Amino acid sequence: MTAHTHTGTPTRSTGSLAAGIEARAATGALAGAGNKMDAKGVKVFYGAKQALKGIDLEIPDRQVTALIGPSGCGKSTFLRCLNRMNDTIGIARVEGLITLDGQDIYDREIDPVQLRARVGMVFQKPNPFPKSIYDNIAYGPRIHGLASGRDEMDEIVAKSLQRAGLWNEVKDRLKEPGTGLSGGQQQRLCIARAVAVSPEVILMDEPCSALDPIATAHVEELIDELRENYTIVIVTHNMQQAARVSQRTAFFHLGDMVEVGDTEDIFTNPRDERTQGYITGRYG
Amino acid sequence: MPVTLFLAVLAALSFAGFQLGRSRAVASAGGRLSSLHSVPTYHGFYVAMWVGLPALILFAVWGGLEGSIVNAMVRASLPASMTALSPQEINLIMVDVHNLAYGNISSRVADPALLAAAEHYKHLRSIGDGALAVLMLAAAGMGLQYARQRIQPGLRARNQVEKVVTVFLILCSLVAILTTVGIVLSLLFEAIRFFNKVPPLDFLFGLQWSPQTAIRADQVASDGAFGAVPLFTGTLLIATIAMAVAVPLGLMSAIYMSEYAPPRVRGTVKPILEILAGIPTVVYGFFAALTMAPFVRDVGQSLGLSVSSESALAAGVVMGVMIIPFVSSLSDDIINAVPQSLRDGSYGLGATRSETIRQVVLPAALPGIVGGILLAVSRAIGETMIVVMAAGLAANLSGNPLDAVSTVTVQIATLLVGDQEFDSAKTLSAFGLGLVLFTVTLCLNIIALRVVRKYREQYD
Ligand SMILES: Nc1ncnc2c1ncn2[C@@H]1O[C@H](COP(=O)(O)OP(=O)(O)OP(=O)(O)O)[C@@H](O)[C@H]1O
Ligand SMILES: [Mg+2]
């Protein structure tokens, strides 16, 4: 861990978290309409090297947005801007405007710690904590004080595991270490862990790259269900997956966003020839 | 000196063999190097091995036997007046013969018989050297011939060379292992001698330690009491104080360095801490005896406590300072080995840095840190110099950190310093203590290494 560039004071007031949840309830009325997040002219530098060259992307509420593009084009970098995970990389510098429900997330007022409770993240490699399955899920709710008692916590854990489609497999072994699960189960555990803090947006960076086809199908089903309650941004290298799970697709290339549109359109009728080349497998 | 000459010649021959083997292998491949089973260099090593090794083995065997054979022959040729003497005296005479032969000063007036024996000795030695040279050359030549003939593309030269290298490496590690075994055995035998004089139970559970015994019958001295409990408690007390200082400070600085410090600070603080680890313990001892102990005494007195001028507290605190870098650099490594992905996972859920450290990083690193601390404890128990200088020699049975106490290592050091009689219980008791110390630190190290290894497996 190195020094933060953006990190504000790492304190947390549940007040503003609650405000966020209320705001979400308000926008819930016009489900599907409006943008949950909005990026304008986002540039990212790693030291002197520019990784993103000005990205404009709207992320609609309660939809799945897929980010595709060749390796090294900046998909993960962009994803990490959305919950300020880039703050944990010492040399990373972010420019431009990113809003969540109309509020600039790089504003001085915003505490990245609170932001990450609202914008959760699932990583490419499953990374369960070396704790029991139960404690893995309870970790987030505990630090955010989401449960007022033992029973409530049990309920959150059970519900999150059910959401992630893992409940039936682990309900009898909640006390066993999370690291003892199979790769696919671990990844679903990580998704359950992210869901447990009831974020508004879930960012997934190649969540299926370490999984077999069956586990992948599980996770895709899960994403489809989560869409009802959450806004999802997913990075994937698998074109079929992007086509299956997402409503909107953005194509990244060499730090630029080349094209964005409804998934249907992008896959049937791409406007840019680079997009066409990539999705038909001519390169990348 | 013929030895260096022999070896130089042998090395040159092996080198020539290497060149020859390599070029012959190239030639035998007929331009298609890929048809060789092993690359030409291995053929070179193969020939060099056959040239060098048999001759070297011959040289070693000869070196081991020649001396005693020549000695026996010279001894047989001594005049009857000398062979009639006792074995010890004959040995002395043989020493003189050696000295005369090599032009050293001998202890007695050279009589003609002795001079003749020396001449005889020199003569035999030179014959032996000559014979060795011839034999070694022959062995090298035969090896060369044999290896040369076997060079052909299909020769598995690489496998054979590597087999020899393996054997060589095994021999090297055997030396280290056998040395250790030897040390343990000598410790054990001396300790057994001690336990013949003092029953083990008295030693392990006795409450009185005063090892002074009368060496001569007319001396006035106590009878000697060999109850080691005061030493064990003293060791424990000082080690506990040391760990109480070292563990919190070391761990905190490790956490600061690995999780909070900006790279620039880390870049300066870490080397400084490591320099601390390089200071000889004697220097820490000065500091403990001249600065820390008086300071503790003065502070104690101003608080109205009676503090002896050599206190366990002073020694323990300084020892703790000595161990800080050990604890901190081990913990730092272990904390750094916790995968970044775990931290990312925690931050991704909206955890703060301190929550992440307390609830994810430290629990994940805990087994490794415990292992590191156990290693540090075994260092604290084995440390001698600081305690010798700061804690004193009085083997008091006391749990009060302001008293003077003594430790196992200090007693071993003082028991063996100076001229000693090696069969008195006093001297032998050092080996008894040594055995206990060895057993305890060995157990600690085994447990610690197990814990650390188990932890490593978790993330590899
Ligand atoms: N921590 C970092 N330090 C320096 N450069 C980085 C860092 N992370 C990413 N980069 C650089 O930024 C560019 C974009 O990387 P990014 O990880 O966003 O690519 P990606 O699109 O996610 O690729 P992939 O599909 O292989 O995961 C790359 O050129 C990469 O080398
Ligand atoms: Mg990536």
Angle at A161 between CA A131 and CA A187, to 5 degrees: 65
Residues B151, B229: one domain? no
Pairing of strands A231-235, A201-205: parallel
Decide if B61 is inside a domain.
yes
- Degrees, nearest 5: CA angle A159-A163-A169: 85
Task: Please say which residue of B107, B137, B155 terminates a domain.
Answer: B155
What sign results for the dihedral spanned by CA atoms B9, B13, B15, B16?
positive
Residue B223, pLDDT score = 64
CB-ligand 1 contact for A76 (6 Å cutoff): yes
* Residue B378 to chain A, least CA–CA distance (Å): 29
The H-assigned helical ranges of B198-261 are: 200-205, 229-255
Interchain proximity A2–B263, CB inside 8 Å: yes
With a pLDDT cut of 70, the percent of chain A lying above it is 87
Cα–Cα distance measured from residue A267 to residue A250, given in angstroms and rounded to the nearest whole number: 11
Mean pLDDT computed over every residue of chain A: 84
Q: Is B343 on the interface with A (CB under 8 A)?
A: yes
Burial class (CB in 10 A: 0-12, 13-18, 19+), B109: exposed
Phi, psi of B439 (to 5 degrees): -60, -45
Give dist(CA B182, CA A174) in Å, integer. 52
**Residue B109: predicted pLDDT:** 67
Q: What are B54-72's pLDDT values in tens digits?
A: 999 998 898 888 888 888 8
Residue B132 sits in the same domain as residue B266: no
* The pLDDT of residue A23: 43
- The pLDDT averaged over each successive group of 10 residues in chain B (460 residues) is 80 92 87 83 92 90 86 81 78 81 69 81 86 90 91 87 94 94 92 88 85 62 76 90 93 91 86 84 85 85 79 87 88 88 91 91 87 87 83 78 84 80 79 90 88 67
* Whether residue B299 sits in one domain with residue B428: yes
pLDDT digits (tens, 9 = 90+) for A42-69: 999 999 999 999 999 999 999 999 999 9
Residues B292 and B439 in one domain: yes
Residues B128 and B256 in one domain: no
Question: pLDDT category, A32, cuts 50, 70, 90?
Answer: very low
A121 close contact with B: CB closer than 8 A:
yes
pLDDT at residue B395, rounded to an integer: 79
Tell whether A30 lies on the interface with B, counting CB pairs under 8 A: no
CB contact under 8 A, B363 and A131: yes
Largest Cα separation within chain B, whole Å, is 99
- Concatenating the DSSP letter of every residue in B176-196 gives HHHHHHHHHHHHHHHHHHHHH
pLDDT, residue B161, reads 92
Q: Tell me which of B155, B173, B203 is where a domain ends.
A: B155
**Domain contains B233:** yes
Q: A206 C-alpha vs ligand 1 centroid, how far in Å?
A: 13
Regarding whether B269 and B146 lie in a shared domain, the answer is no
Evaluate if residue A266 carries a pLDDT over 70: yes
Are residues B342 and B424 both part of a single domain? yes
Closest CA to B72 of B117, B104, B103, B113: B117
Cβ neighbours for B104, distance < 8 A, ≥ 6 positions apart = B98
Residues B34 and B125 in one domain: yes
In order of their start, the domains of chain A are 60-83+108-279 (3.40.50.300)
Regarding whether B419 and B270 lie in a shared domain, the answer is: yes
A139 lies within 8 A of chain B by CB: yes
| Residue B94 falls inside a structural domain | yes
Same domain for B283 and B134: no
- pLDDT for the residue A66: 95
pLDDT digits (tens, 9 = 90+) for B207-250: 888 877 655 556 555 567 788 888 888 898 999 999 999 999 99
In a domain, B215, yes or no: no
pLDDT single digits (tens) B374-384: 888 988 888 88
Q: What is the pLDDT of residue B110?
A: 66
CB contact under 8 Å between A85 and B344, yes or no, is yes
Q: Is A47 on the interface with B (CB under 8 A)?
A: no
Query: What pLDDT is stored for residue A173 in this prediction?
Result: 92
Q: Any idea what the CATH number is for the domain that residue B300 is in?
A: 1.10.3720.10
Helices (H), A145-212: 150-163, 167-170, 183-196
Atom of ligand 1 nearest to the CA of A91: 3
Q: How many angstroms separate the CA atoms of B369 and B255, rounded?
A: 11
Cα(A189)–Cα(A183) distance, integer angstroms? 10
Q: Does some domain include residue B185? A: no
Domain end position, chosen among B155, B188, B209: B155
pLDDT of residue B249: 94
CB B17 within 8 A of CB B50: yes
pLDDT at residue A105, rounded to an integer: 92
Span from the CA of B269 to the centroid of ligand 1 (angstroms): 31
Residues 6+ apart with CB under 8 A from B454: B367
Q: How many domains does chain B have?
A: 2
pTM, entire model? 0.70
- Using most ligand atoms within 8 A of CB, pick from A5, A42, A73, A124 the residue to mutate for ligand 1: A73
Q: What is the pLDDT of residue A6?
A: 43
Which pLDDT value is given to residue A20?
Answer: 43
Domain that holds residue B375: 225-459
Residue B176 lies in a domain: no
Q: Mean pLDDT over residues A91-102, rounded?
A: 91
Classify residue B171: in a domain, yes or no.
Answer: no
Q: String of b and e for A132-160 (b: at least 16 CB within 10 Å)?
A: bbbbbbbbbbbbbebbeeeeebeebbebb
Closest CA to A123 of A157, A63, A96, A83: A83
Q: Give the separation between CA B407 and CA B412, rounded to whole angstroms.
A: 9
Partners of residue A11 in chain B, C-beta under 8 Å: 352
Q: Which long-range contacts (CB under 8 A, 24 or more apart) does B269-274 make?
A: B270/B329, B270/B332, B273/B324, B273/B325, B273/B328, B273/B329, B274/B325, B274/B329
CA B36 to chain centre: 45
Q: What is residue A68's predicted lDDT score, i.e. its pLDDT?
A: 94
Whole-number pLDDT of residue A7: 40
* Residue B169 is assigned to a structural domain of this protein: no
> Which residues, in sequence order, are bridge partners of residue A37?
A59, A100
